[in-house]
Amino acid sequence: HFFISESIFFGIANVLKKFNKILKR
């Protein structure tokens, strides 16, 4: 089902954004 994979994709993207902020600091 698309909803599950979409939520996982957004979750990973969110984690990557947080990781990027941590790496930049």
Q: What is the pLDDT of residue 1?
A: 60
More confident call, 20 vs 2: 20
Residue 10 has pLDDT above 80, yes or no: yes
Report the alpha-carbon distance of residue 24 to residue 7 in Å, rounded. 26
Residue 12 has pLDDT above 80, yes or no: yes
Q: What is the pLDDT of residue 4?
A: 87
Residue 19 has pLDDT above 80, yes or no: yes
Q: What does R_g of the chain's alpha carbons equal in angstroms? A: 11
Q: What share of the chain is helix, strand, coil (3-state, %, to 5)?
A: 90, 0, 10
Report the alpha-carbon distance of residue 16 to residue 9 in Å, rounded. 11
Name the pTM for this structure. 0.53
Q: What is the pLDDT of residue 16?
A: 97
Q: What is the pLDDT of residue 21?
A: 94
